[in-house]
Amino acid sequence: MDKILIHGGHPLTGSIKVSGSKNSSLPILAATLLTREPCAVQGVPDLSDTNYMVQILTYLGAQVERASGTVSVTAEKVQSVAPYDVVRKMRASVCVLGPLLGRCKEASVALPGGCVIGDRPIDLHLKGFEALGAAVRVEGGDIKIFAPKLKGAVINMEGKFGPTVLGTDNLMMAAVLADGVTVIEGAALEPEVVDLATFLMKMGAKIEGAGTRRIIIEGVAALHGAEHRVIADRIEAGTFLVAGAIAGNGITVKQVNPEHVRAVTDTLARCGYAIDIEDRAISILPNGDATALELATEPYPGFPTDMQAQMCALLSTTKGVSSITENIFPQRYMHVAELKRMGAKVHLEAATAMIEGVDCLLGAPVMASDLRASAALVLAGLKADGVTEVSRVYHIDRGYEHLDEKLSELGAQIERVKAE
Ligand code: EPU
């Protein structure tokens, strides 16, 4: 297994370009199953998660080619069964359920296993499919869905932790080929949902209201092929902005939609960092005297749970006492024990992390546990005295395209030690 070694204390300067969004690419690639015609998805980042999705599409019968960020898919014939071995590596593989149901009127997909960031139920996805007229059962670890006919319905997708992103995606993808009109109430507002709706509309779907709480879908008989470039990865952008805060001497993050990262830039501005926002670029300047703050994660447009770990790393070295409350995945704190190994003072009370800023962190061997937790450890390593050795970096490779190379371009002393 590869490791990443970071020699801390080398200030970052310069600029990097953000890659295409992982969380847009995954459902959009799944949506290509909805048509027999060729589709081309551009800007797909080279990550293990997007590779898993390519493998799943191929298993389901699609012809898939991948060249310089463009994934071309022709799903002339599709089979509707995805066993555990094919889907187990990635929880987001559940987003083939909606398109398979839409296209084949049946699907059998293995239930994703446990997830280190906490309980990841899919009850709302299944409730949505049932409302469209599907029969759903779980058998032998597989979700089996069957609907001789899908019929539009009014469905509220909001759960106790708020709207569901992939649940909204799944339902939209099933409803585009249903008879009649589907209204999704309590829909997720995330830019990735809007990006999927944009792609579906390019394929001929009739969708209104994506990006609002109510999405209205008028079913059509068939979809056609389309080309689409996915939006920039707002979480990657946010992660680099926090890198700029924790260890920067002024860096610029390019190829980003500033609106999509507003919660992060507002938060960093609240800490006292100077943020300069242009059309497609954001610069962050260092702050000798950053201030502690209270923060809570929320569904978009609130502060993203996918940026919580990285903020935890930053606030660990910010003078004063900060708090972060995790409202989406209350157990998503695997990074805390590792940050403590580097000298961070963090105390967990239920879903809230109380963080007492320390003057310096000390490099240590630490273990990546999930994607965003791993990024937080790398960010902490940029600031720490000495060498931080992050193991299990395959977690990082799931969702950050060339993170070590991009940080190196900014001047970080970071190297990847390849496994024997
Ligand atoms: N939830 C339910 N029932 C459901 C579905 C979700 O109770 O049927 C709850 C979840 O337990 C959670 C909340 O609803 O408390 C929101 O979860 P959501 O369904 O929105 O998560 P997701 O769609 O499975 C996507 C991202 C995650 C990101 C979350 C929240 C992708 C592929 N994944 O997951 O990204 O954390 O939305 O924004 O889009 C990551 O990239 O590192 C990552 C984990």
What confidence score (pLDDT) does residue 112 get? 77
- Alpha helix stretches (DSSP H) within 204-273: 234-247, 262-271
Query: Is there a contact between 217 and 182 (Cβ–Cβ < 8 Å)?
Result: yes
Among 15, 181, 24, CA closest to 95: 24
Question: Is the distance from the beta carbon of residue 44 to the nearest atom of ligand 1 less than 6 Å?
Answer: no
Q: Ligand 1, residue 120: give the atom nearest the CA.
A: 11
CA atoms within 13 A on the CB side of 214: 5
Question: Is the distance from the beta carbon of residue 122 to the nearest atom of ligand 1 less than 6 Å?
Answer: yes
Query: Is there a contact between 295 and 322 (Cβ–Cβ < 8 Å)?
Result: yes
Token pair 């946010």 is found at 238
Mutate to test the pocket of ligand 1, among 48, 111, 143, 161 (most ligand atoms within 8 A of CB): 161
Ligand 1 centroid–CA 166 distance in Å is 7
Write out the DSSP string of 19-45: -B-HHHHHHHHHHGGG-SS-EEEES--
Query: Is there a contact between 12 and 248 (Cβ–Cβ < 8 Å)?
Result: yes
Chain centre distance of CA 260? 13
Ligand 1 centroid–CA 163 distance in Å is 9
Residue 393 DSSP class = T
Question: Is the distance from the beta carbon of residue 29 to the nearest atom of ligand 1 less than 6 Å?
Answer: no
Pairing of strands 3-7, 227-229: unpaired
Provide the token pair at 204. Answer: 């001929």
Query: Is there a contact between 107 and 97 (Cβ–Cβ < 8 Å)?
Result: yes
Q: What angle do CA 303, 304, 309 make, to 5 degrees?
A: 105
Query: Is there a contact between 275 and 269 (Cβ–Cβ < 8 Å)?
Result: yes
Query: Is there a contact between 287 and 270 (Cβ–Cβ < 8 Å)?
Result: no
What confidence score (pLDDT) does residue 114 get? 63
Q: Ligand 1, residue 399: give the atom nearest the CA.
A: 41
Q: Over the stretch 226-268, which tens digit does the pLDDT of each residue have?
A: 999 999 999 999 999 999 999 999 999 999 999 999 999 999 9
Identify the three-state secondary structure at position 6. strand
Token pair 């239920």 is found at 350
In this prediction, the residues of the chain whose per-residue pLDDT falls under 50 are none
Longest Cα–Cα distance in the chain? 64
What confidence score (pLDDT) does residue 289 get? 85
Q: How many angstroms separate the Cα of 225 from the Cα of each of 31, 45, 316, 367, 393?
A: 11, 21, 48, 43, 36
Q: Over the stretch 384-409, which tens digit does the pLDDT of each residue have?
A: 999 999 999 999 999 999 999 999 99
The neighbour count for residue 402, using CB atoms within 10 Å, is 16
What confidence score (pLDDT) does residue 255 get? 97
Query: Which residues lie closer than 8 Å to 249 by C-beta, 6 or more apart?
Result: 11, 12, 13, 286
State if pTM tops 0.85.
Answer: yes
Rg (CA), the chain: 21
Question: Is the distance from the beta carbon of residue 120 to the nearest atom of ligand 1 less than 6 Å?
Answer: yes
What confidence score (pLDDT) does residue 111 get? 87
Residue 251 DSSP class = E
Residue 115 is among the residues annotated as catalytic for this protein? yes
| Phi, psi (deg, nearest 5) at residue 38 | -65, 140
What confidence score (pLDDT) does residue 188 get? 98
**Atom 29 of ligand 1, nearest CA residue:** 165
Question: Is the distance from the beta carbon of residue 126 to the nearest atom of ligand 1 less than 6 Å?
Answer: no
Query: Is there a contact between 361 and 342 (Cβ–Cβ < 8 Å)?
Result: yes
